[in-house]
């Protein structure tokens, strides 16, 4: 053994660091959403420190109930799990045998991580937790503390409350992406503060950057200033405020601008209608569909500014794409956005639902366009280290 090898220092053998085994349970690419991407990126980041098994939902709910049901199963993502990660796409909302199989696979791991963003998967999580019978630590990672659609329909609200309470009661640890979400989870769900940990959302830096002029040419954009909204259109996303703010810009600026609204319209068809009725409708392009990974590169490369005008937010995966591209970002000063974007020097915060504030910020960015370096602490290597620290903490309390 060479004398420089760490295990040969002073003739003694150092103990090897423990390599954990972790099961991550979340959505597959079949029901593609931001959480699908997150599940893949988190699994890949954990794989540096642990043996990872991904147990994925194959059918999360009856297809007609999924707003984007027409694209279920279409292959529009290039994201893959790293070679060596064990992947099982097996969980079906209607098949208890698949839940038992998922438990058998997850039970082999030291720690089980449940990705939480919707109560539609709660019954599957609950059965897996009951079968585990608290023999293994379960970590719930919150992406949505409160789903606005579930909260607006009484029967869904009741189900989410009851099922969510049961799932949370059987968990050992809770992970959120910001202090705002930590406070909300503790106050709303009464989870133990000492078991609620902040681990930031990692950057979505998997998309190649294209030269801006080339990207604009691909999209047929001739205007100098491209304003981008990206993501599912839902009422809390504030798209109507963005369209109103665009209408407040001086005509000279608007004539040099293109407002791009890119994303599936779920509960927010009003914004699509509003864009068609705007006095500047010829400067607004709405792409009402879920776009491919290749298209994401084009849209973000063509953008001069990303706008996130949400009225509430736990975190925003879209913001983490924008930061990876080094774009100026105009965002509402709400919830997890304040922390998630607070360390990014390219952020301009505005008051939510204030079209005049948003218009002023867009004018400012038009005159101060530049590239901003993504925060290093949001790189997935850094996020993986935070998870390793949590795994060490869990190990210390569960020897």
pLDDT tens figures, 126-181: 999 999 988 999 999 999 877 766 766 778 788 888 999 999 999 999 999 999 89
User: How does pLDDT run across 66-121, given as a tens digit for each residue?
Assistant: 666 666 667 778 889 999 999 999 999 999 999 999 999 999 999 999 999 988 89
pLDDT at 151: 67
CA distances from 28 to 43, 97, 273 (A): 12, 18, 32
Residue ranges matching CATH 3.40.50.2000 in the chain: 6-202+379-397, 212-376
Q: Is the pLDDT of residue 12 over 60?
A: no
What pLDDT band is residue 4 in, cutting at 50, 70 and 90? very low
Per-residue pLDDT tens over the stretch 199-230: 999 999 999 999 999 999 999 999 999 999 99
Lowest mean pLDDT among 22-36, 43-57, 63-77, 361-375: 63-77
* CATH ID of 6-202+379-397, from 3.40.50.2000, 1.10.3720.10, 3.30.1540.10, 3.40.50.10260: 3.40.50.2000
The secondary element (H helix, E strand) that includes residue 320 is helix 317-324
Query: What does each C-alpha distance from 263 to 237, 283, 291 come to in angstroms?
Result: 11, 17, 7
Per-residue pLDDT tens digits for 293-350: 999 999 999 999 999 999 987 778 999 999 999 999 999 999 889 888 988 999 999 9
Return d(Cα 109, Cα 21) in angstroms, integer: 5
Measured CA to CA, the distance from residue 174 to residue 183 in angstroms comes to: 12
Tell me what the mean pLDDT of segment 40-50 comes to.
97
Mean pLDDT along residues 52-62: 91
pLDDT digits (tens, 9 = 90+) for 224-272: 999 999 998 988 899 999 999 999 999 999 999 999 999 988 777 888 8
- Compute the mean pLDDT over every residue in the chain, rounded to the nearest whole number: 89
What per-residue confidence (pLDDT) applies to 70? Answer: 65
What pLDDT does residue 15 have?
Answer: 45
The H-assigned helical ranges of 190-263 are 212-219, 239-248, 251-254
The string of pLDDT tens digits covering residues 61-78 is 777 666 666 666 677 788
Torsion-angle region of 27 (φ positive above 0: left; ψ -120 to 50: alpha; else: beta): beta
pLDDT tier at 24 (50, 70, 90 boundaries)?
very high
What is the average pLDDT across 279-290? 93
- Say yes or no: domain 212-376 is CATH 3.40.50.2000: yes
In contact, 112 and 140? CB cutoff 8 Å: no
């Amino acid at each position: 053994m060479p004398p420089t090898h760490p295990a040969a220092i002073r003739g003694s053998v150092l103990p090897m660091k423990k390599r954990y085994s972790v099961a991550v349970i979340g959505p597959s690419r079949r029901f593609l959403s931001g959480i699908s991407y997150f599940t893949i990126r988190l699994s890949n980041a954990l794989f540096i420190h642990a043996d990872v098994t991904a147990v994925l939902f194959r059918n999360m709910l009856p297809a007609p109930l999924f707003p984007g049901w027409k694209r279920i199963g279409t292959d529009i993502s290039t994201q893959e799990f790293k070679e060596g990660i064990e992947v099982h796409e097996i969980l079906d909302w209607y098949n208890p045998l698949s839940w038992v199989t998922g438990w058998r696979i997850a039970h082999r791991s030291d720690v089980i991580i449940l990705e939480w963003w919707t109560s539609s998967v709660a019954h599957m999580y609950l059965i897996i937790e009951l079968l585990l019978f608290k023999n293994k630590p379960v970590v719930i990672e919150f992406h949505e503390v409160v789903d606005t659609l579930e909260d607006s329909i009484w029967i869904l609200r009741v189900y989410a409350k009851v099922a969510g309470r049961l799932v949370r009661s059987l968990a050992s640890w809770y992970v959120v992406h910001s202090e705002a979400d930590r406070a909300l989870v503790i106050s709303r769900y009464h989870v133990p503060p000492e078991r609620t940990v902040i681990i930031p959302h990692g950057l979505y830096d998997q998309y190649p950057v294209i030269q801006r002029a080339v990207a604009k040419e691909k999209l047929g954009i001739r205007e100098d200033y491209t304003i981008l909204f990206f993501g599912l259109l839902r009422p809390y996303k504030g798209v109507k405020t963005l369209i109103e703010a665009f209408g407040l810009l001086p005509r000279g600026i608007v004539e040099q601008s293109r407002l791009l609204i890119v994303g599936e319209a779920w509960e927010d068809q009003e914004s699509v209608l509003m864009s068609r009725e705007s006095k500047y409708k010829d400067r607004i392009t709405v792409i009402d569909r879920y776009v491919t990974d290749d298209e994401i590169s084009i849209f973000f490369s063509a953008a001069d500014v990303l706008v996130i005008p949400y009225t509430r937010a736990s975190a925003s995966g879209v913001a983490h794409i924008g930061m990876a591209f080094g774009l100026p970002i105009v965002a509402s000063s709400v919830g997890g956005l304040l922390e998630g974007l607070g360390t990014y020097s390219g952020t301009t915060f505005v008051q939510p639902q204030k079209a005049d504030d948003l218009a002023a910020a867009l004018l400012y960015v038009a005159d101060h366009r530049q590239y901003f370096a993504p925060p290093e602490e949001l790189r997935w290597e850094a996020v993986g280290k935070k998870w390793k620290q949590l795994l060490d903490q869990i190990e210390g309390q569960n020897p």
